[in-house]
Amino acid sequence: MKKRLVLAGSALVSMLAFSGVASAGTYATYTVQSGDTMYKIALREGVSLAALEAANPQIADYNNIWVGEQINLPISPQEQKADAILATAQSLIGVPYQWGGDSPATGFDCSGFVQYVFGQNGISLPRESHDQATVGTFVPANQLRKGDLLFFTGTYPSNWPNGVTHVAIYLGNGDMIESSSARGGVGVIVVKNFWASPYYNAHYWGARRVIQ
């Protein structure tokens, strides 16, 4: 027999796990995890409880959802914007690194890449990473969302007051995309599970959210 979850139940908050896209960019399909409630899912995903319930008329009782049940997750305008930004970023994988570069034609340095990607999606950012770290809102490491900016310090000598010398874009699931000279000038690459890297952990400064 499947186990029921009651709204006032467990305090355990599970990590999001998408299992696919339900319908033409309107909904994603989410598999209910242990400890989930409709309220917790809505809060975590930045959508209203009313919108989440309206997207799931198949649920007879919104106060009770099954572990393993699949529900429709509304895609917020912010998430749609993040998806567009990540699509632009990933289309540039393989563009070589170039100090001071800010276009596919010249190659990219880290902040030139970020500025270009966001600019292509209607968001204007400063040119350099230490200035990019002053815009938007601070995001705790355990609340990162795709499209957030990740900042690192001390990746090369500098005297910027905040110490920020590198920026990347969070892809979700611990992954990020960056333009880096660290791998023989390869440039734009995806870094899998950057939290597992002693180097990135040692230099991590924080994250900012500019998609509002």
pLDDT digits (tens, 9 = 90+) for 63-86: 999 999 999 998 888 888 999 999
Note whether 131 and 174 are same-domain residues.
yes
Does residue 150 have a pLDDT over 70? yes
Distances in Å between the Cα of 139 and the Cα atoms of 31, 33, 57, 76 are 25, 24, 33, 18
- The residues assigned a catalytic role are 110, 166, 178
Does residue 18 have a pLDDT over 60? no
Give me the pLDDT at residue 28, please. Answer: 87
Overall number of domains in the chain: 2
Does residue 5 have a pLDDT over 50? no
In this prediction, residues 154-168 reach a mean pLDDT of: 95
Query: Which residue has 């333009």 as its token pair?
Result: 179
Note whether 50 and 149 are same-domain residues.
no
Query: Which residue has 């390869």 as its token pair?
Result: 186
Whole-structure pTM value:
0.73
Handedness of CA 140, 144, 150, 153 (dihedral sign): positive
Note whether 100 and 167 are same-domain residues.
yes
Domain limit, last residue, from 47, 74, 101? 74
Note whether 104 and 203 are same-domain residues.
yes
Note whether 14 and 119 are same-domain residues.
no
How does pLDDT run across 38-67, given as a tens digit for each residue? 999 998 877 889 999 999 999 999 999 999
Handedness of CA 68, 74, 78, 80 (dihedral sign): positive
Note whether 63 and 125 are same-domain residues.
no
SS3 for 27?
A: strand
Domain limit, last residue, from 74, 96, 126? 74
In eight-state DSSP terms, residue 89 is H
Note whether 55 and 144 are same-domain residues.
no
17 or 108, which is more confident: 108
Give me the pLDDT at residue 26, please. Answer: 74
In this prediction, residues 164-189 reach a mean pLDDT of: 92
Please give the mean pLDDT across all residues of the chain: 87
CATH value at residue 94: 3.90.1720.10
Note whether 150 and 52 are same-domain residues.
no
Note whether 108 and 68 are same-domain residues.
no
CA atoms of 177 and 150, how far apart (whole Å): 10
In this prediction, residues 129-151 reach a mean pLDDT of: 97
Note whether 39 and 81 are same-domain residues.
no
Domain limit, last residue, from 26, 47, 74? 74
State which residues form the domain around 160. 77-209
Note whether 204 and 103 are same-domain residues.
yes
In this prediction, residues 91-97 reach a mean pLDDT of: 96
